[in-house]
Amino acid sequence: MSAVAGPIVDTRGRPVVDALVAWARRNGWTLSLIALLAVLLAFTKVINPSYGAPGIQGLAISVLPLALAAVAQAVCVIGGGIDLSIGSMMALTSVVAASQMKDQSEEFGVAVILAVLILGLIIGAVNGAVIVITRVPDIVVTLAMSFVWAGAALLVLKTPAGGSAQWLKDLVLGPAGFDWIPKAAVVLIVVVAVIWIPLRRSTVGLSIYAIGSDRLAAFRSGVAVGPTKVIAYATTGLFAALAGISLTASTGIGNPVPGPYTLMSVAAVVLGGVSLAGGRGGVFGPMIGVLILVLIQNDMAFLSLDPNLALVSQGLILIGVVMFGSLIQWRRSRR
Amino acid sequence: MKGQGTTRAKWLVVLTAFALFAVACSDSGSSTAPSAAAPSAAAPSEAPSEAPSEAPAAMYKIGFSNTGGTGNGFREEQNCTAKAEALASGQVESVNMIARNADTAQQLADLRTLIAAGPDAIVFNPSTADGLQAALDEAQAAGIITVAVDAGVSDEETWKFYNNQVDYAYLGAKWLFEQLGGNGSVWYTRGIAGHPADTDRDVGFKKALAEFPGITVVPNEDGVHTGWDPTTATNLANEFISSGEYDKVDGIWTSGMDSQVVDAVKAAGKPYKPIVGADLGAFAAYLLDDVNYPGLVGAAVTNTASVGGAGVNLALKLLNGETVTADASAPLPNTILLSPVLADNQSEEGKATLKSWQTVEGLSPLWPLSVTIDGWTTYTPEQAIACKGPGE
């Protein structure tokens, strides 16, 4: 946008190209991930020629909870933390939504979803507040809180049960008018854009990056470190709640036992180019990272590989990709 | 240096363009329908009236989804018998198998992945009775036959092939309560919370419990869930013994995590309490081993894992247009129920039955002893143990 609005546009258009190149350099990792995703999609098409619009729709609905979990994780990692309670928060919000929506009207379902989103904000903020007040490391607090939220989920529902408003199911299932555009993908992009883009461009968003990058420098620059951290974790809780709601939307029930979303979200964040040291990265990369991780799983199934071998392969590929990224960053730092 | 960076960035832009191009091109020649199935595939709920006159020449693709219990012998046998049946039938081109510990949402994802692979039938062990409906609808809309094994689902169109889990629990619990003379407390250990088989077994256990008012349940009537995970079961047993609670109970009902409990009791040097388990190799061997397990009183109830192979067999029957008769007494249509059998080590008849189950050499001690089902499997026990599917 700055290239278009800028005053210096010569007849050869070089500034536009330079700006594009500069933008590409800034987003090199994400573009590389997109390229890898494209290669994987092409590979998928080769090994499974019938892979088409239904496959893309299935992929989109499958990645939705994990993508939202990855975005949730990315926000607190950017802020210099990590949240190991995301899977449990998803379980809690999912069972609360499912238990309250069962046999209720469609309109009541809207109120339930709004309440669950607020619940997500609150439990996320509790995570952040405990970290700020106790000064116990994030990893310890969130690990402990993962048991708290998982136990709370089991208090709400002992076994998978509950229900979902039909409009919620319809919101994520099927195509959005055109077969190749799944509703789940539209929902994901809209939800993330509506929450994350204004937040990132706000003072609070800049503060989250600042405390993640250098906590002391941020403090000396006047950033309220504690409240910012609480806001970062509250945002993580909000996205975790959205991920939990997406579980209920896709299954039509709530499951109190947390799935393996926490560690997958960490893997997706690392793969997505977010620095675990904080302060660097965005939420788009982790979303692509999730797509890659899930597509690798799918390809393993299409190839009829032994399921145990598929798990091993997925881990090795993840390590390989992250090592490759580290190598690039190391070479860049040497120049 | 700047030149190098610019070059790299340009390559990235080119790769991005390639990505968009590849995605756009993926439309060409796409087929939203799976590979063609036999005509009967579109209407599995209506059992065809005529069987084909000669062996079918069709080669089918089968999808198989098993969620939870990874490392559990029952699940492993289920997967292996599915592969073995596919191989032995000579009618299956490939088996796409996804087996992992996952929740309902992830099994939905697995089913959708299998649908995208374009199979003729999907055989699956359901993690819940109701949560997979969306994917089942999508599969059936694409002409794919769906078969649930090990437990039922609420979807009427899906064929169900499983052990009668209500009777499984009832038989064992009734035997245990009778052993205790109708009075005492029982440690109630269960499987995966929410799994339809676990829910059915709870119904059977509670039915027997209602007949014996002198029996109390520890820790409570909801029991404790092992997740059908051997490690979790061992940990729970160790904690139960070390807490002193074990000394207070009179009997133990397990949902198949039986030898783990016996091992923990033996390791702790505690006296055995009457115990009910499944027809798993190790447990049945313990029941017959007076030398190493003196005083062990127990009963095993059959719960064959060959339902994996039988599910593939059923899917092939449906694909080939053969007549399949559903069990009229089952709670849902399109259901075939197996009747469990109990054998204890207290009667000569029971011991003879336990011995008669131990016929297959080389079977993993954690696998159920019944490796085949008459009329529903065609592989040999050796093929099941080899665990090889078509093309492997």
Predicted local confidence at residue A8, as pLDDT: 45
- pLDDT tens, residue by residue, A168-213: 999 999 899 888 999 999 999 999 999 999 999 999 999 999 999 9
Of the segments A34-38, A321-325, B173-177, B324-328, which one has the largest average pLDDT value?
B173-177
Which residues from chain A sit within 8 angstroms of residue B12, using beta carbons?
24-25, 28, 31-32, 35
Phi-psi region of B41 (alpha: psi -120 to 50; beta: other; left: phi over 0): alpha
Say yes or no for a CB contact (<8 Å) between B131 and A179.
no
pLDDT for the residue B52: 45
Average pLDDT, rounded, for chain A: 90
- Among chain A residues, the shortest Cα distance to B104 is held by A251
Interface of A with B in 272-311 (CB under 8 A): 294, 297-298, 301-302, 304, 306-308, 311
| Antiparallel, parallel or unpaired: β B159-163 and A178-182 | unpaired
* A74 contact B CB<8A: no
- Pairwise pLDDT comparison (A174 vs A111), residue with the higher score: A111
Instruction: Kindly state whether A262 is in contact with chain B, defined as any CB-CB distance less than 8 angstroms.
Output: no
What pLDDT, on the 0 to 100 scale, is given for residue A257?
85
Q: Quick check: bond before B219 cis, omega within 30?
A: yes
Q: How far is A329 from chain B (nearest CA, A)?
A: 13
Q: Encode A168-192: b = buried (16+ Cβ within 10 Å), e = exposed.
A: bbebbbbbeeebbebbbbbbbeebb
Q: CA-CA distance, A289 to A291, in Å (whole number)?
A: 5
Q: What is the DSSP string of B3-54?
A: HHHHHHHHHHHHHHHHHHHHHHHTTTT--SSPSPPPGGGG-TTS--S---SS
* Residue of chain B nearest A36, judged by CA positions: B19
* Structure confidence at residue A323 (pLDDT): 81
Choose among B113, B130, B142: nearest Cβ to A298: B113
**pLDDT tens across A140-176, in order?**
999 999 999 999 999 999 888 999 999 999 999 989 9
In a domain, A240, yes or no: yes
**Residue A12: predicted pLDDT:** 56
Q: Distance (Å) from the C-alpha of residue B94 to the closest C-alpha of chain A?
A: 7
Q: Which domain holds residue A175?
A: 55-261
Is A66 within a domain? yes
Q: Identify the helix (H) or strand (E) that includes residue B290.
A: none
- Stretch(es) of chain B classified as CATH 3.40.50.2300: 39-164+305-338+371-386, 165-301
Which residue out of B78, B98, B103, B132 would a mutagenesis test of the A interface target, given it has the greatest number of A Cβ atoms within 10 Å? Answer: B103
What is residue B54's predicted lDDT score, i.e. its pLDDT?
52
Q: Is residue A186 part of a domain?
A: yes
**Residue A129, domain member (yes or no):** yes
Task: Quote the pLDDT of residue B28.
Answer: 36
Task: Work out the percent of chain A whose per-residue pLDDT is above 70.
Answer: 94
Structurally, at CATH architecture level, domain B39-164+305-338+371-386 sits in 3-Layer(aba) Sandwich (3.40)
Confidence class for position A307, pLDDT limits 50, 70, 90: low
Spatial strand order of the sheet with B92-100 comes to B92-100, B60-67, B121-125, B145-149, B159-163, B335-338
Q: Is residue A89 included in any domain, yes or no? A: yes
Stretches where chain B sits below pLDDT 50 are 1-53
Number of other CB atoms surrounding residue B49 within 10 Å: 7
Residue that wins the pLDDT comparison between B196 and A335: B196
Chain A contact set for B193 (CB, 8 A): 158-160, 256-257
- At residue B67, the 3 state secondary structure works out as strand
Q: How big is chain B, counted in residues?
A: 392
Tally of domains in chain A: 1
Quote the pLDDT of residue B67: 84
pLDDT (average), residues A19-35: 86
- Token representation of residue B317: 């029957």
The pLDDT, as a whole number, for residue B331 is: 86
Residue A131 reports pLDDT greater than 80: yes
Measure CB to CB from residue A259 to each of B95, B102, B142 and give the nearest one: B102
A206: burial class by Cβ within 10 Å (0-12, 13-18, 19+)?
middle
pLDDT of residue B12: 41
Which is more confident, B128 or A126?
A126
Is A332 part of a structural domain of the chain?
Answer: no
Say which CATH class B165-301 falls into: alpha beta
What pLDDT, in 10s, does the model give residues B261-278?
Answer: 999 999 999 999 999 999
Interface confidence (ipTM) of the complex: 0.83
CB contact under 8 A, B13 and A20: yes
What distance in Å separates the CA atoms of residue B16 and residue B61, rounded to the nearest whole number? Answer: 35
Q: Do A82 and A73 meet the contact criterion of CB atoms below 8 Å apart?
A: yes
